[in-house]
Structure 1
Amino acid sequence: MKSPKPHIKVALAYFLIAALLGVLLRSFPSIDIPFNYRYIVHTHSHIALLGWVYLALTTLIYKLFVQSSMTDWKYRRIFWATQLSLIGMLLTFPFTGYALFSIVFSTLFLFVSYWFFWFFKTHAKREFRKTNAYACIVAALWYLVISSLGPWALGGIMGTLGAESVWYRLAIYFYLHFLYNGWMIMALVGLFFYVLELRHIRMSLTNFRKFFWGINFGIVLSFFLSTLFAEPSVLLYLMGGAGAIFQLFAFILLARFLFPYRDRLRTMCSKWQWIFLGIVAVLLVIKMGLQLLTAFPYFSDLAATFLNFTVGYLHLTFLGVVTIALFFLLDYFGMMHISKIAFALYFMGFVVTEALIFYKGIAGWRGFPVFEAYYNALAVGSLLIPLSLIVVLFGPNNRDG
């Protein structure tokens, strides 16, 4: 893999497919569509999380920490095994939902992700193994493995307790929590530390240990916020709240560390990339604030009752924090140019759809009606995201490679 751009284009192509499926899902209330809604939801989520984010992150991790002429052929085998599992999911989930072949391809993906973890641990370059960035990437990959316990548990739960069991929902939330807050966020933090260390900005060992253990305690304990819909004991509320506070503490430590370097940080990237970082920082603060709120019973009940709040939070994390951070990294390392037009379309689509999703949640909460053209507006707003990805994929600066 001399240039990572072809692999990033594949990841963006999956994102485009997932975004088009998102438009399709939001068109269901307005148009008679001859597909099973739930099956399309499964396809949309799997291709977005595993096609776009997983592939983009693993390509970045391989390129920055591992790549050499001796490892390229080994990585290509992992890449093509990943494609087999993703294409298999894409061709089965829309027509069968969770059934034999879709489960086979989903299971194959889990094994390939374990293969990638082993490959990274075996072949990461020695000069990175004592860096803060490497420690965060290893932790992220451990969370990727831990998250897979959710899907493994689903089969047993469905066979014994059934899909209506509270344990079924807990297994899904376990998977999503450690995938989003563990694997994705920690991988992005590790890649950001890589950028800093490339510019000789390195957190001291003492401060890094505080940050590292703070964020990891936060990730583990904040899982209990995902259990609050079941109205558990007060102890789990306290543990979930402690997790949110630990994460907040960790990011405050990171912000305090970065503050003296703010002028240097501005000069290490373009003005456009600096805007990406600023948006990610603001969205991360909002995400952590919403997470902390759900430690309080009133707000956890609200999120469990009006699922638009949960959907809005997940999209805030995925489309906001994670994807815009990836745009920054891809643009920064020259793997994909994100033009102003493309990002303007993307950000408009993100803001419009988030506003509409949260609006519907607030409408249900406060008891006022949703306006008549709501679903049409949501579908049109959603359409801006695939349009932006088409501009990225076929932009003049991205046609080579």
Structure 2
Amino acid sequence: MKAITAKHLWSFPLLFGFLGGIIGLVLRYAFTGSIANFPFKFVLHSHSHIMLLGFVFNALIVLLFTRFTNGIDTTSYRLYLALQVCVAVLLVGFIIQGYALVTITFSTLHLWISYCLVIRLWKRLVGKKSDLILIKTGSIFHFISSIGPYALGPLMALKMQASPWYEQAIFFYLHFQYFGSFFLWMLAILFQKTTIRLTKKQMSLLVGAITLLYAHSLQYSFNHLAIQIVGSIGSIALFLFFLKLKKSFSNQKLQYQLFFGTLLFIGILNCFGSIPYFSNLVITNRFMLIAWLHFLFLGMYLPFIWMELGTKIRQSIWVVYIVFLLTSEAFLLFPTFFSELFATSIMWLLFIAYFGVVLCISVVHLTALFQKNKIDELTRTR
């Protein structure tokens, strides 16, 4: 099994990350109005699912199995392959029919198979206690997050698609994935590499912060002082958690120091998100929401996965990627200003910025895919 691990485990997140980026770029091009009768909603569903499940989830699962177990066993490997079949069907299915019988079936199947894989991972974990607690807590959040998708069926049956609860079911799932399972799994991998050990108080502070931060999602549907207060407490708790780790990261490698800076910045942004003025901006301005989600994905998860990929990425690629990423964020935050500055539609400016981002993703993923396949072939011939 070890002889094929490099190729078969990493091939899928690298490939799906590349395809998801290309689909996103096509979506950006379509938003310029250059493609008539384009199925925006269908393609958007395909893009988001592939990047979320095919890239981030896959990559983190690979890192957890390779870093915290004695190697993936045959049954777990087959479950992992089954997940890839589901993702491939979703990629095509969403583009063709959106949310319908096939995509709902395979989304549910992916969720059930992921349960089995996460449980098998749990039983095989080895490593320092604080890291394993993070992984296990993240796994619990993975199960908790699925309450959201399960609620969609009954809500549809009750014809409540237009109710705020339908939207909240989706937000519930996304929050406890983005800031639940994915976030804690990422931190476990990060802390293992940096030999940081969390205390029980730090662990409680982190888990409490993540739970309370769901209040930010509730603000999209409900306007209540209590929700704002709970979200503020969660934001401050998360910021304090990262602030207490500042000394621990001061002695780490430069790339981990820079990544910690990103985490600290995200903590600060969450605090700003608790202020009514800024939270209302995100709620009422779709570009602001996209800027936040893309920053989490392209500014945190993707760079982290690249750091842990085990493939050397040229500094020039990093620089170009960061420049285009920050440019795209600036365009989303100040669309009118940049549209007037360049006398060009903001949609064309965003397409150009994301073209640079996707170009970097393509170079990194295809290069890494080739290198890992080459390493695998060398391993099997020995």
Q: How does 1:225-236 map to 2 (within 5 A)?
A: 225-236=216-227
Alpha-carbon deviation of 1:369? Answer: 9.7
- In structure 2, the gaps of 5 or more residues are 377-382
* CA distance in structure 1 between the partners assigned to 2:361 and 2:5 by the alignment: 18
Cα pair 1:345 1:387 within 8 Å, conserved: no
What is the TM-score of this pair, normalised by structure 2?
Answer: 0.90
Report the Cα distance in structure 1 between the residues aligned to 2:316 and 2:153, rounded to whole angstroms. 45
Q: Does 1:338 align with 2:329?
A: no
The answer to whether residue 143 in structure 2 is matched with residue 152 in structure 1 is no
**Is the CA contact 1:88–1:105 (under 8 Å) kept in the aligned structure 2?**
yes
Aligned equivalent of 2:205, options 192, 214, 225? 214
Determine if the alignment matches structure 1 residue 294 to structure 2 residue 295: no
Aligned residue runs from structure 1 range 243-258, under 5 A: 243-258=234-249
Aligned-residue offset at 1:278: 3.7
Describe how 1:137-176 pairs up with structure 2 within 5 A: 137-176=135-174
Counterpart contact for 1:342–1:388, Cα < 8 Å: yes
1:50 aligns with 2:53: yes
Shift of the 168–370 alpha-carbon distance from structure 1 to 2, 3 Å rule, reads farther
Unaligned stretches of 5+ residues in structure 1: 267-273
Letter in 1 for 2:18: L
Residue 64 of structure 1 aligns to a residue in which SS?
Answer: helix
Higher RCO structure, 1 or 2 (CA under 8 Å, sep 6+): 2
Query: C-alpha root-mean-square deviation of aligned residues, in Å?
Result: 2.2
Q: Which residue of 2 aligns with 1:135?
A: 133
Partner of 2:344: 372
Whole-angstrom distance in 1 between the partners of 2:129 and 2:356:
39
After the TM superposition, which residues 2-401 of structure 1 pair with which residues of structure 2 at under 5 Å, given as runs? Answer: 2=2, 4-6=5-7, 7-28=9-30, 29-68=32-71, 71-125=72-126, 128=127, 131-197=129-195, 202-203=196-197, 208-259=199-250, 262=251, 265-266=252-253, 274-275=254-255, 277-330=256-309, 334=310, 336-360=311-335, 371-395=343-367, 397-398=371-372, 400=374, 401=376
> Structure 1's 37 and 141: CA in aligned 2 closer, same or farther, altered over 3 A?
same
**How far, CA to CA, are the matches of 2:142 and 2:230 in structure 1?**
22
Deviation at 1:48, TM superposition (A): 0.3
Higher alpha-carbon deviation: 78-87 or 295-304: 295-304
Q: Determine the structure 1 residue equivalent to 2:379.
A: none
Could you tell me how far 1:33 is from its partner in structure 2?
4.4
- Which of 164-173 and 51-60 deviates more? 164-173
User: Residue type of the partner of 1:61?
Assistant: L
* Counterpart residue type for residue 268 of structure 2: G
Give the fraction of aligned pairs with identical amino acids, expressed as a percent: 25
What TM-score do you get using the length of structure 1 for normalisation?
0.86
Deviation at 1:363, TM superposition (A): 6.0
